[in-house]
């Protein structure tokens, strides 16, 4: 899968995703480490990448303001549960295709994930 990763995501997670074979670009790598949240979502959509973050504010943007998104994965992760969250990410990617994840807001935490469909974004089937 293809990701744009927020600056708050642990480096170990970025490296794990790359080791798993995913195409990962960080906000810093595209010069957006200080960009507004709305701009990061637009960039991810423009690049056709899922957006990966630890920032709960993206839920507000996606649902309350109906911001367009290419899919957001919120990691509920702390250093002591990194391995468990990585295992749950692997399970999420095995169970859902990129096309499905591109239309949802997903919260991933140790041993479970929750998926909510995004507001209508102009994508057929949403």
Q: By three-state DSSP, how is residue 34 classified?
A: coil
pLDDT score, position 67: 60
* Strand-pair partners of 74: 53, 107
The residue ranking higher by pLDDT, 19 or 126, is 19
pLDDT score, position 66: 55
Q: What is the pLDDT of residues 48-69, one digit of tens each?
A: 999 999 999 998 888 776 566 7
Q: Which residue ranges form the domains of the chain, and what is each CATH number? A: 2-117 (3.40.50)
Q: By three-state DSSP, how is residue 70 classified?
A: coil
Instruction: Give how far the C-alpha of residue 33 lies from the chain's centroid of Cα atoms, to the nearest Å.
Output: 15
Largest CA distance in the chain: 40
């Amino acid at each position: 899968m293809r990701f744009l990763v927020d600056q708050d995501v642990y480096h170990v997670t970025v490296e794990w995703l790359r080791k798993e074979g995913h195409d990962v670009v960080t906000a810093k790598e595209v010069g957006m480490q200080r960009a507004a949240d709305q701009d990061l979502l637009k960039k991810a959509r423009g690049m056709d990448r899922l957006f990966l973050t630890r920032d709960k504010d993206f839920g507000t943007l996606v649902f309350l303001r109906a911001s367009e998104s290419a899919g957001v994965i919120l990691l509920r992760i702390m250093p002591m549960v990194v391995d468990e969250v990585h295992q749950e990410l692997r399970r999420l990617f095995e169970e859902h295709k990129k096309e499905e994840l591109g239309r949802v807001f997903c919260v991933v935490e140790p041993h479970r994930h929750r998926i909510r469909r995004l507001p209508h974004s102009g994508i057929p089937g949403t």
